[in-house]
Amino acid sequence: MGIRLSEHRSYYIRLVNREEDIVTTREALSVLSSDFVRYDTVKSKSFNKSSHRFLFEKKESEYEIKADYCIGVDWIGHTGRSIYVEPKINNSNLGSFIWTLENEEGATNNKESVDDRFYELDYLSMLLQLTSISESKNAVDDLLQIDWDAKHIPIEQEDDKLTPFLIVRFLQILKLIVKKGLKKDYFKVKENLNNRIKGKILVGQQIKQNILKNRFTSTYCEYQVFDIDHLENRFLKKVLDFVVAYVESHKILLKDNLHIIQQTISYCKPAFAFVSSSIKENELKNIKHNPLFKDYKSALQIGGYILKRFAYNITQTTTQKVLTPPFWINMPQLFELYVYSKMIEHNKELKKEIHFQFSTYGNALDILVSHPEFQMVIDAKYKLKYQSGQLHQDIRQVAGYARLNKVRTELKIKEDRNIPCLIIFPDMVSGVDDLSLINIRNSKRSIKAYYNVYKLGVKLPVIGF
């Protein structure tokens, strides 16, 4: 049995003494001492230095399991129970955003701003948005963590966040490869030639195929060809076949993203018309990465994940109940990349003046705008609290970035003045879609407790809105 949470929600495992007191609710599970002690060895799991897969805290008569800023599926230690974390913006039946239930510094519980409509964050659309920026290629690889060695977890197909993520990411990279042109390479061909010899004669096959059958004018040869039908491209085509089968079987699941996914498939397929998909699993070990073709390395890695996902069996793409390895998607980083990609999309002529992950002595601020008429330090915070308040720790962080000499040097500031700071956060009700610098300037709101610090809500793509 699994525990279902959204980001930053908690679930409690509570100890009871009598069997009749055992109850299961959305917020808690009551168990007897024999089951309670199984959670004693469970520990928090980290994703990276700044976020966790989930947090686990031991208390006197209960355990608290708290989701952090990642979505995914995992086992809770060796208890036999799994945890499924969905995006915090999925607010079905909650009656309000998660931020009204959290208790963080600077938050206010403004019930008038609660939205009772159904939201389901369309993280695939956010991922597809990143295709527009080449700078996202390396950062996207860090969004996902998969534990292939762990026992797989049974889930419903509609709860499968991993497969659509892998498929969209694979198609993004494949489109880049096709746009540049498929790589050519040398590969061996075995062929029974008539009245000629090419390469080397395969003696065993020559005797079997020709001598014993009195075909004295034929020669069975092996020779090298320089073309696109080599091992790497065959592997990519095989994965593409799996992707096509999955997309055709799960059109409803992909919903609003189906059209753009099908467009990408239609763009990529013709390039592989003269590439075979015949490849054996043991041949994958022979694939060597060429450092000059970095996109191939990423595509082969993601493609390998997809084939593992379906156990190299294309019929598995139609299964409604699936087994998934434990996996986690880093939502704050996805949000940062989404905000940056929207800014690049809406300020194409100013691309060189919008810096992503500007490095500052061991730290990296999210976005630095160096336009002479619009200089600003921007921090993208995947926190809904900013709709009605602020978090002082975040503001101190972004203000600290603005005081770094390296930042001031980049902006060519010599006079004694403060650099404006902006915190961008998700706002599904009154957030903006246009992240052009002009619209940011006109739409940003001042945080009254601080000088020259502003905030701006951004709408994220949703399903079922």
Which H or E run contains 188? strand 185-194
Measure the CA–CA gap between 112 and 262, rounded to whole angstroms: 41
Q: Which of 330, 400, 394, 398 is nearest to 366 (CA)?
A: 398
Integer-rounded Cα radius of gyration of the chain: 27
pLDDT at residue 312 in the model: 65
Return the DSSP state at 115.
-
Which sequence spans correspond to the domains of the chain?
A: 2-86, 153-183+229-324, 185-227, 332-463
pLDDT at residue 136 in the model: 63
Q: What is the dihedral sign for C-alpha 213, 219, 224, 227?
A: negative
Q: Which two tokens stand for residue 281?
A: 């699993």
How far apart, in Å, are the Cα atoms of 109 and each of 100, 384, 449? 5, 12, 18
Query: What is the SS3 assignment for 85?
Result: strand
**Residues in Cβ contact with 44 at an 8 Å cutoff, skipping those fewer than 6 apart:** 52, 54, 55, 56, 57
Q: Is 103 exposed, middle or buried (0-12, 13-18, 19+ CB in 10 A)?
A: exposed
| Options 3.40.1350, 1.10.3470, 3.30.530, 1.10.10; CATH of 332-463 | 3.40.1350
Is the Cβ–Cβ distance between 64 and 28 less than 8 Å?
A: no
Measure the CA–CA gap between 333 and 382, rounded to whole angstroms: 9
- Find tokens 């699994």 and name the residue: 2
Q: Is 423 exposed, middle or buried (0-12, 13-18, 19+ CB in 10 A)?
A: buried
- Find tokens 């993520």 and name the residue: 165
In sequence order, the β-bridge partners of residue 56 are 65
Q: Which of 356, 359, 339 is nearest to 427 (CA)?
A: 339
pLDDT at residue 22 in the model: 82
Q: Is 162 exposed, middle or buried (0-12, 13-18, 19+ CB in 10 A)?
A: buried
200-201 and 218-227 beta bridge pairing: antiparallel
Is the Cβ–Cβ distance between 174 and 232 less than 8 Å?
A: no
* Ramachandran category for residue 312: left, alpha or beta (phi over 0 → left; psi -120 to 50 → alpha): left
**Length of the chain (residues):** 465
- Find tokens 């926190």 and name the residue: 383
Measure the CA–CA gap between 102 and 386, rounded to whole angstroms: 12
Q: Which of 7, 343, 41, 308 is nearest to 152 (CA)?
A: 308
Return the DSSP state at 82.
E
User: Could you list the pLDDT tens digit for every one of the 465 residues in the chain?
Assistant: 578 887 778 899 988 888 877 888 878 888 888 888 888 889 999 998 888 899 999 887 899 999 888 899 999 988 888 999 888 666 543 333 333 334 444 444 444 344 445 567 888 888 888 876 766 666 677 888 999 889 999 888 778 889 899 999 999 899 999 999 999 888 888 999 999 999 999 999 999 999 999 999 999 999 998 999 888 999 999 999 999 999 998 888 787 788 999 999 999 999 999 998 888 766 766 677 777 788 898 898 899 889 888 776 665 556 667 888 999 999 989 999 999 999 998 998 888 899 988 887 777 888 999 998 899 999 999 887 777 777 788 888 888 889 888 999 899 988 888 999 999 999 888 899 999 999 999 999 998 888 999 999 999 988 764
pLDDT at residue 390 in the model: 74
Is the Cβ–Cβ distance between 65 and 76 less than 8 Å?
A: yes
Measure the CA–CA gap between 415 and 24, rounded to whole angstroms: 62
Q: What is the dihedral sign for C-alpha 174, 180, 185, 190?
A: positive
* Ramachandran category for residue 40: left, alpha or beta (phi over 0 → left; psi -120 to 50 → alpha): alpha
